[in-house]
Amino acid sequence: MLSYIPFKLYLIQNLPMGFLAGMRVRDLSEKGATVTIPYKFLTKNPFRSMYFACLAMAAEMSSGAIGMSMVYKADPKVSMLVRNLEGEFTKKAIGLISFRCDDGAAIRQTIEDSIATGEGKTIVAKSIGTDETGDVVAEFKITWSFKVKSS
């Protein structure tokens, strides 16, 4: 996901709006992930700020990239799905917006619990969006569900 061309190809195939919007994964580790999205023609709204759905997409990716990296080659296979999303907007989003999720340890534990019990487990991951000056522009809570796939 950190390699520019493979990630762009992934977006084109699986999340074309992310590709068109210019979304990028800047950092991905066991601890967390950072995803950026620029304010530009395709991400703007009539109020001269970034459209809320573009912000939500980047916030989802910041938490989802962590989960995806953990379930990628899991044995047994684990599915993941967004169950809920809540957003709070605190400032106009203009420029390059960075979303950071630091819930890697909790996401890993949720996946491990699902594998151990064979039951679906959920976690609420927090993603905080900041502008280029470091001011918080939005905060999202994304509820992820992880479940072992049935054979």
pLDDT tens digits for 35-77?
Answer: 999 999 999 999 999 999 999 999 999 999 999 999 988 889 9
Q: Has residue 6 been placed in a domain?
A: no
Q: Has residue 120 been placed in a domain?
A: yes
Instruction: Flag whether pLDDT at 21 surpasses 80.
Output: yes
pTM of the shown model? 0.91
The band of 4, judged by pLDDT with boundaries at 50, 70 and 90, is low
Question: What's the mean pLDDT when you consider all of the chain?
Answer: 93
**C-alpha dist (Å) from residue 134 to 33, 96, 111, 143:** 16, 11, 31, 25
Q: Has residue 119 been placed in a domain?
A: yes
Contacts of residues 43-48 at CB distance under 8 Å and 24 or more positions apart, as own/partner, are: 47/92, 48/92, 48/94
Q: Has residue 31 been placed in a domain?
A: yes
Read off the CATH number of the domain in which 111 is found. 3.10.129.10
Please count the structural domains in the chain: 1
76-117 residue pLDDT tens: 999 999 999 999 999 999 999 999 999 999 999 999 999 999
Q: Residue 137 is part of which domain span?
A: 21-148
